[in-house]
Amino acid sequence: MTFRRSNRTAARQALAKAVYHYVRGNPNEPKLRELYVKAGTFDPYYPRRVKGDVSNDRSYWSAVLQHVKRYGEFKETETQLRERYFRYWAGQMRGKFPDWDDFQIDLANFTLVYEKDLARWQQRLDRQFAARHRKGDYARVVRWIAAYAGHKAKVKQYYAKLDFPRMSNTQIATLMKIMYDRLKDPELGRNVLGKLRLKEMPDKEKTALERYFWRRDEQVVRRVCEGMTDADLGRMELLRYYRYRRNPKAGLPIAEKMTAVSRYAAEAQWLKAELLQIAGKYAKAIAAYQACNNPPENIWRIAECYAALGKLALGFLR
């Protein structure tokens, strides 16, 4: 603990190596637990004093599982090492925290690696769900849908347990993100989007939602932007999105409208100039950049456009 504060860089490096050794190199939970106490947790920057036995401490086990999963990648040729690794950590976890869902899901996943018994894995997850489920706990149902990613029949089974009118927008949005990121099912994700009560969401939440989809689904971005209470904000967000996607065809008509909206005019003018440059309409882009009052940024962009036209040698900057 003292060393961690007196020589922070060396301490961080030493701690990282020690954690790796006891988690992956030579798995040893008792030694890892001892290190956790002596080092003041595994946090590389903010150690804190740890007292007593942490063998049943959830903060400790959260940190352990974080590293077990982090170091749980193996090459295709390392099947036996992978199975031995997860068998060890599943053995250390067994019998602990029966009421901790995430812990039990990880335990089931680790066990599946070496048992290779899909039916038993599903039985474990279903048993954990049934043992402590309370009607109306839709957040927990959503967690199980995520746990069953890649298993359509089980996803369908748990999806049927949802009652969307009784769910919060936050729960529905979380489910929708799971459909995209874990299940890789945009069609089902759009279906979940239809359950969101967008009119109840403030525009700040709608903005965060549609920006999440910038890399995922243009249809959703448009739908959410068009549902903004502040129509100008919705149009501006859509313009920002089309600039991000480098789509002048869709973005320029919006840019023309938004340059007439005073609170967005300056940004819209800049985005219009960028979209014109992206479209290869360099002469129009130059004129648009010249209307921007943000030197030297616009000057450099004007130079780029002249260079693209082969006219940089004209010395337009003099």
Give per-residue pLDDT as tens, 54-95.
999 999 999 999 999 999 999 999 999 999 999 999 999 999
Distance CA 120, CA 144 (A): 16
Is residue 296 reached through a cis peptide bond, with omega within 30 degrees of 0 on the bond before it? yes
Give how far the C-alpha of residue 185 lies from the chain's centroid of Cα atoms, to the nearest Å: 16
Cβ contact 174:208 at 8 Å: no
* 4 in a structural domain: yes
* 288 in a structural domain: no
* 63 in a structural domain: yes
Could you tell me the two tokens for 50? 């740890």
Give the pLDDT mean for 251-270. 98
The whole domain housing 30 covers 1-71
The total domain count for the chain is 1
pLDDT of residue 295: 93
Distance CA 112, CA 5 (A): 41
Q: How confident is the model at residue 9 (pLDDT cuts 50, 70, 90)?
A: confident
* 204 in a structural domain: no
Q: How confident is the model at residue 168 (pLDDT cuts 50, 70, 90)?
A: very high
* 41 in a structural domain: yes
Give how far the C-alpha of residue 130 lies from the chain's centroid of Cα atoms, to the nearest Å: 29
Q: How confident is the model at residue 45 (pLDDT cuts 50, 70, 90)?
A: confident
* 55 in a structural domain: yes
- Cβ neighbours, 10 Å, residue 293: 9
In degrees to the nearest 10, what's the CA dihedral of 305, 306, 312, 315?
-120
* 180 in a structural domain: no
Q: How confident is the model at residue 311 (pLDDT cuts 50, 70, 90)?
A: confident
Q: How confident is the model at residue 312 (pLDDT cuts 50, 70, 90)?
A: low
57 burial level (CB within 10 Å; 0-12, 13-18, 19+): middle
* 126 in a structural domain: no
Q: Considering the chain, what is the average pLDDT of its residues?
A: 93
Report the amino acid identity of residue 169: N
Indicate whether this model's pTM tops 0.85: no
Q: Give all strands (DSSP E) within the chain, no chain letters.
A: none
**3-class secondary-structure state, position 50:** coil
